[in-house]
Amino acid sequence: MFWLYVAALTIGAILAPSNEPVLYSVTLAKPGDATISVSLTLPSAVAGPLTLVIPRAVPMGYSQQLYDRYVSDVVARGANGEVIPIERKEGSRWQIGTAAESVRHVSYRVDLAKMERELLSATDSSRARPGYAGILGYSVFGFFDGMEGRPLRLEVEVPRDWPVFTTLAPAAPAQRGRVTAEAPDFYTLADSQVAIGPALSVVRLDSRVPLYLAAYSEGAADLTFTGTLIAQAMSGLLEYFGSPPFAQYSVVLELLEPISPEHGYGFSMEHLSSSHYCLTADAAVTPASPEGQRRRALYNFAHHIAHAWIPKRAYGEGYFPFSWELAPLIDTIWMSEGFARYIAVEAIADAMPAAQGSAYRKTFADSMRSTLAEIPAFIRDMSLVDLSRIASTRYSEDFRTGRTLFARGALLAAELDDHIRQASGGKTRFRDAARYLMKWSADNRRGFRIDELPKIFQQATGVDSREVWNRWRIPAR
Protein backbone atom coordinates (compact mmCIF):
# COMPACT_ATOMS: atom_id res chain seq x y z
CA MET A 1 0.00 0.00 0.00
CA PHE A 2 1.20 3.52 -0.69
CA TRP A 3 2.47 4.16 2.81
CA LEU A 4 2.30 7.94 2.67
CA TYR A 5 -1.43 8.18 2.06
CA VAL A 6 -3.52 8.45 5.22
CA ALA A 7 -7.31 8.17 5.22
CA ALA A 8 -8.56 10.22 8.16
CA LEU A 9 -12.30 9.94 7.61
CA THR A 10 -14.57 7.06 8.68
CA ILE A 11 -18.11 6.13 7.77
CA GLY A 12 -20.70 4.49 9.94
CA ALA A 13 -22.87 1.48 9.27
CA ILE A 14 -20.65 -0.12 6.63
CA LEU A 15 -22.00 -3.60 6.23
CA ALA A 16 -19.16 -5.01 4.11
CA PRO A 17 -15.67 -5.73 5.51
CA SER A 18 -13.43 -2.72 4.83
CA ASN A 19 -10.71 -4.86 3.25
CA GLU A 20 -12.97 -5.95 0.39
CA PRO A 21 -12.33 -3.83 -2.71
CA VAL A 22 -14.74 -1.35 -4.22
CA LEU A 23 -15.22 -2.21 -7.90
CA TYR A 24 -14.65 0.62 -10.40
CA SER A 25 -15.82 -0.14 -13.94
CA VAL A 26 -15.04 1.93 -17.03
CA THR A 27 -16.75 1.18 -20.33
CA LEU A 28 -16.27 2.62 -23.78
CA ALA A 29 -18.98 0.86 -25.75
CA LYS A 30 -17.97 1.43 -29.36
CA PRO A 31 -15.34 3.13 -31.50
CA GLY A 32 -15.99 6.84 -31.85
CA ASP A 33 -17.65 7.25 -28.46
CA ALA A 34 -16.82 10.60 -26.89
CA THR A 35 -18.19 9.60 -23.49
CA ILE A 36 -17.36 6.80 -21.09
CA SER A 37 -19.48 5.06 -18.49
CA VAL A 38 -18.10 4.82 -14.96
CA SER A 39 -19.57 2.86 -12.08
CA LEU A 40 -18.72 2.19 -8.43
CA THR A 41 -20.00 -1.03 -6.85
CA LEU A 42 -19.59 -1.81 -3.15
CA PRO A 43 -18.99 -5.43 -2.08
CA SER A 44 -22.18 -5.24 0.00
CA ALA A 45 -24.84 -2.63 0.54
CA VAL A 46 -24.08 0.26 2.88
CA ALA A 47 -26.63 2.18 4.92
CA GLY A 48 -27.44 5.54 3.36
CA PRO A 49 -27.04 8.30 2.83
CA LEU A 50 -23.65 8.27 1.11
CA THR A 51 -21.93 11.16 -0.62
CA LEU A 52 -20.37 10.79 -4.06
CA VAL A 53 -17.51 13.25 -4.61
CA ILE A 54 -15.94 14.10 -7.99
CA PRO A 55 -12.47 15.69 -7.63
CA ARG A 56 -11.92 19.34 -8.42
CA ALA A 57 -8.28 19.47 -7.34
CA VAL A 58 -5.36 17.64 -8.95
CA PRO A 59 -2.32 16.32 -7.07
CA MET A 60 0.57 18.61 -8.06
CA GLY A 61 -1.74 20.39 -10.50
CA TYR A 62 -1.83 23.50 -8.28
CA SER A 63 -5.23 24.50 -9.63
CA GLN A 64 -8.97 23.92 -9.50
CA GLN A 65 -10.73 22.01 -12.30
CA LEU A 66 -14.49 21.52 -12.30
CA TYR A 67 -14.48 17.88 -13.41
CA ASP A 68 -18.01 17.44 -12.04
CA ARG A 69 -19.13 19.68 -14.93
CA TYR A 70 -18.60 16.76 -17.31
CA VAL A 71 -20.55 14.21 -15.26
CA SER A 72 -24.14 13.36 -16.21
CA ASP A 73 -26.78 10.63 -15.89
CA VAL A 74 -25.94 9.75 -12.28
CA VAL A 75 -27.93 6.68 -11.22
CA ALA A 76 -27.80 4.90 -7.86
CA ARG A 77 -29.10 1.45 -6.90
CA GLY A 78 -29.68 -0.34 -3.65
CA ALA A 79 -29.01 -3.84 -2.37
CA ASN A 80 -31.53 -5.46 -4.73
CA GLY A 81 -30.85 -3.32 -7.78
CA GLU A 82 -33.66 -0.87 -7.07
CA VAL A 83 -33.14 2.75 -8.11
CA ILE A 84 -32.67 5.06 -5.13
CA PRO A 85 -32.87 8.86 -4.96
CA ILE A 86 -29.96 11.19 -5.71
CA GLU A 87 -29.69 14.85 -4.75
CA ARG A 88 -27.10 17.21 -6.23
CA LYS A 89 -25.37 19.14 -3.46
CA GLU A 90 -23.19 22.24 -3.39
CA GLY A 91 -19.70 21.83 -4.80
CA SER A 92 -18.86 18.56 -6.52
CA ARG A 93 -21.08 16.35 -4.37
CA TRP A 94 -24.13 14.14 -4.82
CA GLN A 95 -26.09 12.73 -1.89
CA ILE A 96 -26.93 9.09 -2.59
CA GLY A 97 -30.00 7.67 -0.88
CA THR A 98 -31.45 8.49 2.52
CA ALA A 99 -31.37 6.89 5.95
CA ALA A 100 -34.23 4.68 4.77
CA GLU A 101 -32.18 3.09 1.95
CA SER A 102 -29.01 1.10 1.50
CA VAL A 103 -26.55 1.86 -1.29
CA ARG A 104 -24.69 -0.69 -3.43
CA HIS A 105 -24.00 0.87 -6.84
CA VAL A 106 -23.61 4.25 -8.55
CA SER A 107 -23.04 4.89 -12.24
CA TYR A 108 -22.55 8.01 -14.35
CA ARG A 109 -21.23 9.18 -17.71
CA VAL A 110 -18.28 11.46 -18.41
CA ASP A 111 -18.09 13.56 -21.58
CA LEU A 112 -14.41 13.43 -22.62
CA ALA A 113 -14.86 15.52 -25.76
CA LYS A 114 -16.51 18.36 -23.85
CA MET A 115 -13.80 18.17 -21.21
CA GLU A 116 -11.04 18.56 -23.79
CA ARG A 117 -12.85 21.44 -25.50
CA GLU A 118 -13.36 23.42 -22.30
CA LEU A 119 -10.11 22.76 -20.41
CA LEU A 120 -7.44 24.71 -22.26
CA SER A 121 -4.42 23.07 -20.65
CA ALA A 122 -3.91 19.72 -22.36
CA THR A 123 -2.48 17.98 -19.29
CA ASP A 124 -5.60 18.79 -17.24
CA SER A 125 -7.94 16.93 -19.54
CA SER A 126 -8.86 13.43 -20.60
CA ARG A 127 -9.65 13.17 -24.30
CA ALA A 128 -11.38 11.07 -26.96
CA ARG A 129 -10.04 11.28 -30.51
CA PRO A 130 -10.52 8.99 -33.51
CA GLY A 131 -9.09 5.60 -32.58
CA TYR A 132 -7.93 6.73 -29.16
CA ALA A 133 -9.05 7.72 -25.66
CA GLY A 134 -6.70 8.94 -22.93
CA ILE A 135 -8.09 9.00 -19.39
CA LEU A 136 -6.65 10.77 -16.35
CA GLY A 137 -7.96 9.01 -13.26
CA TYR A 138 -8.76 12.10 -11.22
CA SER A 139 -10.74 13.63 -14.07
CA VAL A 140 -13.27 10.77 -14.25
CA PHE A 141 -13.24 8.81 -10.99
CA GLY A 142 -15.30 9.81 -8.00
CA PHE A 143 -15.35 8.30 -4.52
CA PHE A 144 -17.72 7.75 -1.64
CA ASP A 145 -16.82 10.27 1.03
CA GLY A 146 -15.09 8.48 3.90
CA MET A 147 -14.03 5.48 1.82
CA GLU A 148 -10.91 6.96 0.25
CA GLY A 149 -8.73 4.44 2.06
CA ARG A 150 -10.60 1.35 0.85
CA PRO A 151 -8.84 -1.00 -1.58
CA LEU A 152 -10.16 -0.82 -5.15
CA ARG A 153 -10.43 -2.99 -8.22
CA LEU A 154 -10.48 -1.41 -11.66
CA GLU A 155 -12.08 -3.05 -14.71
CA VAL A 156 -11.90 -1.38 -18.11
CA GLU A 157 -13.94 -2.75 -21.03
CA VAL A 158 -13.60 -1.52 -24.61
CA PRO A 159 -14.33 -2.98 -28.07
CA ARG A 160 -12.79 -6.46 -27.94
CA ASP A 161 -10.10 -5.86 -30.57
CA TRP A 162 -8.93 -2.55 -29.03
CA PRO A 163 -5.71 -2.32 -27.01
CA VAL A 164 -6.21 -1.04 -23.46
CA PHE A 165 -3.42 0.02 -21.09
CA THR A 166 -3.46 1.06 -17.45
CA THR A 167 -0.52 2.43 -15.52
CA LEU A 168 -1.75 0.44 -12.49
CA ALA A 169 -0.87 -2.84 -14.23
CA PRO A 170 1.13 -2.02 -17.37
CA ALA A 171 1.78 -4.69 -19.98
CA ALA A 172 3.37 -4.82 -23.42
CA PRO A 173 1.85 -5.64 -25.77
CA ALA A 174 -1.27 -4.03 -24.36
CA GLN A 175 -4.16 -6.31 -23.48
CA ARG A 176 -7.21 -6.18 -25.74
CA GLY A 177 -10.84 -5.67 -24.91
CA ARG A 178 -10.57 -5.78 -21.15
CA VAL A 179 -8.03 -5.05 -18.43
CA THR A 180 -8.18 -5.31 -14.65
CA ALA A 181 -5.97 -3.85 -11.94
CA GLU A 182 -5.84 -3.34 -8.19
CA ALA A 183 -5.22 -0.18 -6.19
CA PRO A 184 -4.74 0.10 -2.41
CA ASP A 185 -6.73 3.35 -2.13
CA PHE A 186 -8.46 6.08 -4.07
CA TYR A 187 -5.36 8.27 -4.37
CA THR A 188 -3.50 5.52 -6.24
CA LEU A 189 -6.44 4.97 -8.60
CA ALA A 190 -7.00 8.68 -9.18
CA ASP A 191 -3.31 9.28 -9.89
CA SER A 192 -3.26 6.55 -12.56
CA GLN A 193 -3.96 6.69 -16.28
CA VAL A 194 -5.77 4.58 -18.87
CA ALA A 195 -5.06 4.65 -22.62
CA ILE A 196 -7.34 2.97 -25.15
CA GLY A 197 -7.62 2.39 -28.86
CA PRO A 198 -6.17 0.99 -32.10
CA ALA A 199 -4.03 4.13 -32.50
CA LEU A 200 -2.26 3.35 -29.21
CA SER A 201 1.28 1.93 -29.24
CA VAL A 202 2.77 0.26 -26.16
CA VAL A 203 6.36 -0.95 -25.81
CA ARG A 204 8.44 -2.17 -22.89
CA LEU A 205 11.77 -0.40 -22.57
CA ASP A 206 15.15 -1.68 -21.44
CA SER A 207 15.53 -0.74 -17.77
CA ARG A 208 16.46 -2.05 -14.31
CA VAL A 209 12.79 -1.75 -13.37
CA PRO A 210 9.83 -2.60 -15.62
CA LEU A 211 9.45 0.49 -17.79
CA TYR A 212 6.74 1.11 -20.40
CA LEU A 213 5.98 3.67 -23.08
CA ALA A 214 2.33 4.09 -24.10
CA ALA A 215 2.10 6.52 -27.00
CA TYR A 216 -0.51 8.12 -29.24
CA SER A 217 0.70 10.32 -32.07
CA GLU A 218 -1.14 12.35 -34.68
CA GLY A 219 2.10 12.88 -36.59
CA ALA A 220 5.33 11.09 -37.36
CA ALA A 221 7.02 9.77 -34.23
CA ASP A 222 10.11 7.66 -33.60
CA LEU A 223 9.07 5.71 -30.54
CA THR A 224 12.24 3.62 -30.56
CA PHE A 225 14.42 6.71 -30.22
CA THR A 226 12.02 8.33 -27.75
CA GLY A 227 12.17 5.15 -25.71
CA THR A 228 15.97 5.35 -25.50
CA LEU A 229 15.69 8.85 -24.01
CA ILE A 230 13.14 7.67 -21.46
CA ALA A 231 15.31 4.70 -20.51
CA GLN A 232 18.35 6.99 -20.23
CA ALA A 233 16.46 9.36 -17.94
CA MET A 234 15.25 6.49 -15.76
CA SER A 235 18.72 4.95 -15.59
CA GLY A 236 20.24 8.23 -14.42
CA LEU A 237 17.62 8.71 -11.71
CA LEU A 238 17.91 5.14 -10.44
CA GLU A 239 21.65 5.67 -10.14
CA TYR A 240 21.13 9.05 -8.46
CA PHE A 241 18.69 7.85 -5.80
CA GLY A 242 20.06 4.32 -5.53
CA SER A 243 16.69 2.53 -5.59
CA PRO A 244 13.20 2.97 -7.06
CA PRO A 245 10.13 3.77 -4.93
CA PHE A 246 7.84 1.99 -7.43
CA ALA A 247 7.44 -1.58 -8.71
CA GLN A 248 7.07 -0.43 -12.32
CA TYR A 249 6.85 2.84 -14.21
CA SER A 250 4.98 4.06 -17.30
CA VAL A 251 5.39 7.04 -19.60
CA VAL A 252 2.21 8.10 -21.42
CA LEU A 253 3.05 10.27 -24.41
CA GLU A 254 0.45 12.13 -26.50
CA LEU A 255 1.56 14.00 -29.62
CA LEU A 256 -1.51 15.99 -30.60
CA GLU A 257 -2.86 18.34 -33.20
CA PRO A 258 -4.21 21.35 -31.26
CA ILE A 259 -7.97 21.58 -31.25
CA SER A 260 -7.86 25.39 -31.07
CA PRO A 261 -5.34 28.24 -30.86
CA GLU A 262 -6.42 28.82 -27.26
CA HIS A 263 -5.42 25.35 -26.10
CA GLY A 264 -2.00 25.00 -24.50
CA TYR A 265 0.36 22.10 -25.11
CA GLY A 266 3.89 21.43 -23.96
CA PHE A 267 3.23 20.82 -20.28
CA SER A 268 3.82 17.46 -18.63
CA MET A 269 2.43 15.91 -15.46
CA GLU A 270 3.78 13.50 -12.88
CA HIS A 271 2.03 10.66 -11.08
CA LEU A 272 2.88 7.99 -8.50
CA SER A 273 4.19 5.45 -11.00
CA SER A 274 3.83 7.26 -14.31
CA SER A 275 4.21 10.58 -16.06
CA HIS A 276 2.13 12.18 -18.81
CA TYR A 277 3.49 14.27 -21.69
CA CYS A 278 1.07 16.32 -23.81
CA LEU A 279 2.96 17.79 -26.76
CA THR A 280 2.07 19.03 -30.20
CA ALA A 281 2.47 16.51 -33.00
CA ASP A 282 5.40 18.42 -34.50
CA ALA A 283 7.32 18.19 -31.22
CA ALA A 284 8.19 14.53 -31.76
CA VAL A 285 11.90 13.93 -31.27
CA THR A 286 13.98 11.79 -33.64
CA PRO A 287 17.70 11.09 -34.11
CA ALA A 288 17.68 13.85 -36.75
CA SER A 289 16.30 16.45 -34.32
CA PRO A 290 18.71 19.23 -33.34
CA GLU A 291 20.88 18.38 -30.34
CA GLY A 292 19.20 21.05 -28.24
CA GLN A 293 15.76 19.57 -28.85
CA ARG A 294 16.97 16.05 -28.03
CA ARG A 295 18.60 17.29 -24.83
CA ARG A 296 15.47 19.19 -23.81
CA ALA A 297 13.38 16.06 -24.36
CA LEU A 298 15.75 14.00 -22.21
CA TYR A 299 15.64 16.61 -19.47
CA ASN A 300 11.83 16.82 -19.61
CA PHE A 301 11.54 13.07 -19.10
CA ALA A 302 14.10 13.12 -16.27
CA HIS A 303 12.47 16.05 -14.49
CA HIS A 304 9.00 14.54 -14.40
CA ILE A 305 10.18 11.04 -13.55
CA ALA A 306 12.17 12.58 -10.66
CA HIS A 307 8.87 13.67 -9.15
CA ALA A 308 8.13 10.02 -8.36
CA TRP A 309 10.72 10.50 -5.62
CA ILE A 310 10.17 14.19 -4.77
CA PRO A 311 7.47 15.10 -3.81
CA LYS A 312 5.43 11.97 -4.45
CA ARG A 313 7.30 10.10 -1.69
CA ALA A 314 9.29 12.81 0.10
CA TYR A 315 7.24 15.97 0.49
CA GLY A 316 6.43 19.02 2.54
CA GLU A 317 3.27 19.56 4.53
CA GLY A 318 0.11 19.92 2.45
CA TYR A 319 0.74 17.29 -0.22
CA PHE A 320 -0.75 14.36 1.74
CA PRO A 321 -3.43 13.53 2.69
CA PHE A 322 -4.72 15.23 -0.43
CA SER A 323 -7.74 17.55 -0.53
CA TRP A 324 -9.79 16.49 -3.56
CA GLU A 325 -12.37 19.27 -3.54
CA LEU A 326 -10.26 22.36 -2.83
CA ALA A 327 -6.65 22.77 -3.94
CA PRO A 328 -4.56 22.91 -0.75
CA LEU A 329 -2.20 25.77 0.07
CA ILE A 330 1.35 24.39 -0.01
CA ASP A 331 4.45 26.14 1.32
CA THR A 332 7.07 24.02 -0.46
CA ILE A 333 6.32 24.11 -4.19
CA TRP A 334 9.72 25.80 -4.66
CA MET A 335 11.32 22.68 -3.23
CA SER A 336 9.17 20.13 -5.08
CA GLU A 337 9.61 21.78 -8.47
CA GLY A 338 13.03 23.39 -8.11
CA PHE A 339 14.82 20.51 -6.39
CA ALA A 340 13.36 18.01 -8.87
CA ARG A 341 14.69 20.14 -11.72
CA TYR A 342 18.15 20.25 -10.22
CA ILE A 343 18.09 16.51 -9.51
CA ALA A 344 17.19 15.82 -13.16
CA VAL A 345 20.16 17.90 -14.30
CA GLU A 346 22.46 16.16 -11.81
CA ALA A 347 21.29 12.71 -12.89
CA ILE A 348 21.99 13.53 -16.54
CA ALA A 349 25.31 15.24 -15.77
CA ASP A 350 26.55 12.30 -13.69
CA ALA A 351 26.51 10.13 -16.80
CA MET A 352 28.71 12.60 -18.70
CA PRO A 353 32.49 13.07 -18.55
CA ALA A 354 33.30 15.34 -15.59
CA ALA A 355 34.08 18.48 -17.60
CA GLN A 356 31.00 18.07 -19.79
CA GLY A 357 28.78 17.42 -16.78
CA SER A 358 30.11 20.52 -15.01
CA ALA A 359 29.40 22.61 -18.11
CA TYR A 360 25.89 21.15 -18.34
CA ARG A 361 25.15 22.11 -14.72
CA LYS A 362 26.48 25.62 -15.32
CA THR A 363 24.35 26.06 -18.44
CA PHE A 364 21.30 25.01 -16.43
CA ALA A 365 22.04 27.46 -13.61
CA ASP A 366 22.53 30.26 -16.14
CA SER A 367 19.17 29.45 -17.70
CA MET A 368 17.50 29.64 -14.29
CA ARG A 369 19.05 33.07 -13.68
CA SER A 370 17.84 34.21 -17.10
CA THR A 371 14.35 33.00 -16.23
CA LEU A 372 14.34 35.09 -13.05
CA ALA A 373 15.62 38.15 -14.90
CA GLU A 374 12.44 38.10 -17.01
CA ILE A 375 10.11 38.08 -13.98
CA PRO A 376 8.69 41.37 -12.60
CA ALA A 377 10.32 42.35 -9.32
CA PHE A 378 7.08 42.23 -7.33
CA ILE A 379 6.92 38.47 -8.00
CA ARG A 380 10.64 37.74 -8.09
CA ASP A 381 11.25 39.33 -4.68
CA MET A 382 8.40 37.66 -2.77
CA SER A 383 9.34 35.16 -0.09
CA LEU A 384 9.30 31.61 -1.42
CA VAL A 385 6.69 30.57 1.13
CA ASP A 386 4.30 33.40 0.24
CA LEU A 387 4.77 32.81 -3.47
CA SER A 388 4.27 29.08 -3.03
CA ARG A 389 0.92 29.68 -1.36
CA ILE A 390 -0.18 31.92 -4.22
CA ALA A 391 0.99 29.40 -6.83
CA SER A 392 -0.90 26.60 -5.08
CA THR A 393 -3.94 27.55 -7.17
CA ARG A 394 -2.39 29.34 -10.16
CA TYR A 395 1.02 27.79 -10.82
CA SER A 396 0.54 27.56 -14.58
CA GLU A 397 -2.45 29.89 -14.87
CA ASP A 398 -0.02 32.75 -14.24
CA PHE A 399 3.19 30.93 -15.07
CA ARG A 400 5.31 33.79 -13.78
CA THR A 401 4.66 32.32 -10.32
CA GLY A 402 5.57 28.81 -11.43
CA ARG A 403 8.73 29.87 -13.24
CA THR A 404 9.88 31.95 -10.27
CA LEU A 405 9.38 29.07 -7.87
CA PHE A 406 11.17 26.42 -9.90
CA ALA A 407 14.02 28.76 -10.86
CA ARG A 408 14.67 29.95 -7.31
CA GLY A 409 14.27 26.45 -5.92
CA ALA A 410 16.72 25.03 -8.45
CA LEU A 411 19.27 27.77 -7.76
CA LEU A 412 18.94 27.11 -4.02
CA ALA A 413 19.63 23.43 -4.68
CA ALA A 414 22.66 24.31 -6.80
CA GLU A 415 24.04 26.60 -4.10
CA LEU A 416 23.48 23.95 -1.43
CA ASP A 417 25.29 21.42 -3.62
CA ASP A 418 28.28 23.71 -4.12
CA HIS A 419 28.43 24.49 -0.39
CA ILE A 420 28.19 20.84 0.67
CA ARG A 421 30.80 19.67 -1.85
CA GLN A 422 33.24 22.37 -0.79
CA ALA A 423 32.73 22.01 2.96
CA SER A 424 33.00 18.20 2.85
CA GLY A 425 35.98 18.16 0.53
CA GLY A 426 33.90 16.36 -2.07
CA LYS A 427 32.90 13.54 0.30
CA THR A 428 29.19 14.44 0.25
CA ARG A 429 26.91 16.37 -2.06
CA PHE A 430 23.27 17.31 -2.66
CA ARG A 431 22.58 13.75 -3.79
CA ASP A 432 23.29 12.47 -0.27
CA ALA A 433 20.67 14.84 1.11
CA ALA A 434 18.11 13.77 -1.52
CA ARG A 435 18.65 10.10 -0.66
CA TYR A 436 18.46 10.77 3.05
CA LEU A 437 15.27 12.78 2.61
CA MET A 438 13.68 9.69 1.05
CA LYS A 439 14.72 7.60 4.06
CA TRP A 440 13.59 10.29 6.50
CA SER A 441 10.16 10.41 4.86
CA ALA A 442 9.81 6.62 4.91
CA ASP A 443 10.79 6.49 8.58
CA ASN A 444 8.59 9.40 9.70
CA ARG A 445 5.67 8.81 7.36
CA ARG A 446 4.71 12.46 7.17
CA GLY A 447 5.54 15.66 5.36
CA PHE A 448 8.56 17.56 6.61
CA ARG A 449 8.29 21.07 8.02
CA ILE A 450 10.39 23.75 6.36
CA ASP A 451 12.28 24.46 9.59
CA GLU A 452 13.37 20.80 9.67
CA LEU A 453 15.17 20.92 6.32
CA PRO A 454 18.50 22.45 7.46
CA LYS A 455 18.88 19.77 10.14
CA ILE A 456 17.89 16.98 7.73
CA PHE A 457 20.51 18.19 5.26
CA GLN A 458 23.16 18.36 7.99
CA GLN A 459 22.35 14.84 9.17
CA ALA A 460 22.65 13.60 5.58
CA THR A 461 25.85 15.35 4.58
CA GLY A 462 27.69 16.24 7.79
CA VAL A 463 27.69 19.86 6.63
CA ASP A 464 25.96 22.77 8.35
CA SER A 465 24.30 24.64 5.47
CA ARG A 466 22.14 27.00 7.53
CA GLU A 467 23.87 30.06 6.10
CA VAL A 468 22.70 29.05 2.61
CA TRP A 469 19.13 28.42 3.76
CA ASN A 470 19.11 31.76 5.58
CA ARG A 471 20.36 33.66 2.52
CA TRP A 472 17.38 32.34 0.62
CA ARG A 473 15.06 33.21 3.53
CA ILE A 474 14.33 29.54 4.20
CA PRO A 475 12.89 29.10 6.76
CA ALA A 476 10.97 32.37 6.32
CA ARG A 477 11.87 35.03 8.85
Give pLDDT, residue 2.
Answer: 32
Phi and psi based region of residue 125 (left: phi greater than 0; alpha: psi -120 to 50; beta: remaining): beta
pLDDT at 12 over 50: no
Peptide bond into 49 cis (omega under 30): yes
Of 336, 316, 310, residue with least CA distance to 240: 310
Helix, coil or strand: residue 326: coil
Instruction: Supply the mean pLDDT for the chain.
Output: 93
pLDDT tier, 308 (very low <50, low <70, confident <90, very high otherwise):
very high
Of 225, 232, 224, 270, residue with least CA distance to 251: 270
pLDDT at 9 over 50: no
pLDDT tier, 18 (very low <50, low <70, confident <90, very high otherwise):
low
pLDDT tier, 364 (very low <50, low <70, confident <90, very high otherwise):
very high
Residue pair 430/416 in contact by the 8 Å Cβ criterion: yes
Give pLDDT, residue 7.
Answer: 32
Q: State the pTM of this model.
A: 0.93
pLDDT at 14 over 60: no
